[in-house]
Structure 1
Amino acid sequence: MRVNIKANRWFGWLLLLWASYWFDEVYQLSTGSVIQISSYWPVAWIQFLAPPLFFISVCHYTVPAYKWSKDVLKFLILPLLYLFLIVINQLTDTDLYYFQMLLILINALTFTILSLVRIRKHQDNIQQYASSTQEINLNWLEYIIIAMIALVVGIGVFNLVFFDVPLNVFMNAAVLAVVLFITYNALKQTEIFPKNDADVKVVADLSEEEKSKEQKRVLLSDDKVLMIKQKLDDLMNEESPYLDSELNLIKLAQLLDISSHQLSYVINKGYNENFFQFVNRFRVEKAKLMLADNENNKLSILGVAFESGFSSKTSFNTTFKKMTELTPSEYKKKCSSL
């Protein structure tokens, strides 16, 4: 199982920064002093970089060959402003604590919301490319974002209202739980996009923000679309490539001896579906036949899922119900009663 090395590396830096928050707790226990933002201003500034790092790691998960360096300025605007406030606070007697806390909240909420938007776009984009998305849909990152927003708001309000009281053990336990959740999911996250450079370019092109405009451009004549549709229908019905749980746009295009862009265009225009919907429609039809075979079908629901081309029972149940408005078990029971 391949892992997303670049994204996980950035997550590693994020976890390292989060670990620095416990430095404050140790410092307080050893010195007895009350900590407001951080015991040492360079540590406070480095901790401020955690939300941008989170966003960069999300970008590496969602965009093939992402280059964060081109966006470096937008990542540094808020950190530089925060550094300016820290320096002013250190050099003068001005109390800027509330301004610093406000900037911390703005920084965290900005990058977590941007991360959420990026993941939502990713979930739409991968359906243009992959036939099985459960392992690569990054839902676990959405859960982290929700937890992070709750933590940021909770810690921010706690510090603003009870600024002379240290964070309690429950808040620290919540942060630790999020960190452990991130670590577990980051380590088991599989590579989302192909390694081959040419294939990566195909996926990147499909994921472009201008994708909707590109789809409006006529890539093929209507006659060509109809011809490819016929070949595609014959291939799906006779050779059943959808039974391969790892089938993707590139593999199917190669079987038809056409480009991935042409196949995507034919599926979008000819069937009014994305690749995920197109392939899984065949899988669901196959599953329906197997579930309705009351006399010969000895397979469990999980067995039917695998035999139909699904990679897991969860994805099978979710997709089946979305397309039939019934769970596989409900459909099988309905067929048995006929």
Structure 2
Amino acid sequence: MNTSELNNFLVILIYGSLVLLSLLELTNPLKVNKKANAFFGVFLFLWSTFWLDEVFSLVKGSNVEIHPLIFVQVIQFLTPIVFYFSVLFFTNPAFKFKLSDVKYAVLPVIFLVNLLFRYFGIINAGISALIFIGLILVQALFYTGLSYFTIRKHQRRIQMFSSNTEEINLNWLEYIILVIFVMNIGYIIYNLFYDSTSLNFFINIIFLLVVYFVACYCLRQKEIYPAGKKVQEELISISSETEAEAVKKKLISDEDFLKIKHNIEAVMQSEKPYLDSELNLIRLSELLSISTHHLSYVINKGFNKNFFQYVNEYRIEYAKILLKNDKNNKLSILGIAYESGFNSKTSFNNTFKKLTDQTPSEFKKTSSSL
């Protein structure tokens, strides 16, 4: 099998995988993040259309060009914006489109008008091509950047209500953005100076790996705000505030503030709820019989930490005790991580290193030599 045949095989795999993955996301077998998965499914289908020319050419046995069709070009142009909508709903499932959101249609409408003007000969083909390329670059860069910063903001926000963020931080979406962005830039540069035909095979291999990476993570993505609608909206409103904003607002009297702060410390020390890897703001607020807003406010203002930092400091202190105790020598680092309330070794190592400037293994060796 030569390189050309291998490349054709890769094209079929990529297209088939994207269409199948799109259908799985749209049917959403886990019934989580419903709106986000619906938009992400549409994004995957639109992404698959970039291989339509090659797929139809293989089916027909001769060169077929679907891409130049106005309809196909328009839906392909919408790919970055649909991806951004999926990110919006992943990070805020309560998001609703408003009249002001008509702004999202501005670039697609300009793009469509440009295509129609060129088709009917109203505008010079050369000028139209420049506008075409410019709009594609602007749309792709703008929504790629917007998606990236929305995810980064989300990663900070979820620390306001969750003690373990690995399964809801959307890192996998961030990686997709970075990989596709780097690949596209590399492809454009290569196109300018070399024959891109020889690059297609390697690009398709990377794209296939990206598709499988996407499949691995998007199909197991958990519900990011796992609660009823009312509590979900409350959590979103809390996580939408910055910690500085949360501290500035005076939600309760000084007397109640000190009482709640004392109760939090007492419960954390006596009942050790931080050992529960699924502990979040809702569970702790129920344990203390106070609202999530009040709990978040007291933790932010009373301890100068967000919920994630506050809980994980307790976990690290507990882990230190286990690491120092010779009776726990049979426990592996992963075992100690689980015993301390962490749900992965990576999360445990990163948090431990951040708070102690040592890895758990280094801390254990230092402690045993004393």
State TM-score, norm by structure 1: 0.91
Which of 87, 102, 125 is residue 73 of structure 1 equivalent to? Answer: 102
For the pair 1:14 / 2:43, whether they are aligned, the reply is yes
Kindly provide the amino acid, as one letter, of the partner of residue 178 in structure 1: V
1:292 to 1:71, Cα distance in 2 relative to 1, 3 A: farther
Question: Is 1:326 aligned with 2:358?
Answer: yes
Structure 2 partner of 1:294: 326
Q: Matches of 1:292 and 1:222 in 2, distance apart?
A: 39
Amino acid at match of 1:14: F
The 1-side partners of 2:150 and 2:305 are apart by: 22
Aligned pairs, number? 336
User: What residue is the counterpart of 2:254 in the other structure?
Assistant: 222
Q: Secondary structure at the match of 2:365?
A: helix
Distance 1:241 1:319 in 2: 18
CA pair 295-237 structure 1, distance change in 2 beyond 3 A: same
* Aligned residue in 1 for 2:151: 119
Structure 2 counterpart of 1:94, which letter? Answer: A
Counterparts of 1:104-143 in structure 2 under 5 Å?
Answer: 104-143=136-175
Q: CA RMSD of the aligned region, Å?
A: 2.4
1:251-330 aligned at under 5 Å gives the runs 251-330=283-362
In 2, distance between residues paired with 1:44 and 1:167?
A: 23
Q: Secondary structure at the match of 2:219?
A: helix
The answer to whether the 8 A contact 2:40-2:86 is kept is: yes
Q: How does 1:108-257 map to 2 (within 5 A)?
A: 108-157=140-189, 168-208=200-240, 212-257=244-289
Cα separation, 2, equivalents of 1:178 and 1:84 = 33
- What is aligned with 2:68? 39
Residues 144-197 of structure 1, C-alpha deviations (whole Å, 9 max, x = no match): 110121233234445667799797222233333323322221101111102301
Distance 2:56 2:186 in 1: 22
Cα distance, 1:226–1:22 mapped onto 2, change above 3 Å: same
- Identity value in percent: 47
> 2 CA distance for matches of 1:173 and 1:40?
27
Q: 3-state DSSP class of the match of 1:168?
A: helix
What's 1:102 paired with? 134
Query: Does 136-145 or 215-224 show the bigger shift?
Result: 215-224
**C-alpha distance in 1, partners of 2:305/2:67?**
52
What SS is found at the alignment partner of 2:259? helix
Q: TM-score w.r.t. structure 2 length?
A: 0.84
The runs of at least 4 aligned residues of structure 1 exceeding 3 Å deviation read: 26-33, 68-72, 154-167, 209-215
SS in 2 for 1:188: coil
| C-alpha contact 2:246 2:300 (8 A) present in aligned 1 | no
Of 115-124 and 192-201, the range deviating more from structure 2: 192-201
Q: Please tell me whether the aligned partners of residues 111 and 132 of structure 2 are also in contact (alpha carbons under 8 angstroms).
A: yes
Match of 1:51 in 2: 80
CA–CA distance in structure 2, aligned partners of residues 105 and 147 of structure 1: 16
1:289 deviation in Å? Answer: 0.1
In structure 2, relative to structure 1, the CA distance for the partners of 1:57 and 1:171 (3 Å cut) is: same
Which residues of structure 1 form unaligned runs of 5+? Answer: none
Greater RCO (Cα-Cα under 8 Å, separation 6 or more): 1
Change (3 A) 1:81 1:178: farther
Question: Which whole-Å CA distance do the structure 1 matches of 2:276 and 2:78 have between them?
Answer: 42
Q: Is contact 1:131-1:248 (8 Å) kept? A: yes
Aligned-partner Cα distance in 2 for 1:24–1:166:
18
CA distance in structure 2 between the aligned counterparts of 1:163 and 1:39, rounded to whole angstroms: 22
Report the AA paired with residue 170 of structure 1.
Answer: F
Moved more, 230-239 or 171-180: 171-180
- Cα deviation, 1:233-291, whole Å, max 9, x if unaligned, reads 11011100111111111111111111111111110011000000000111000000000
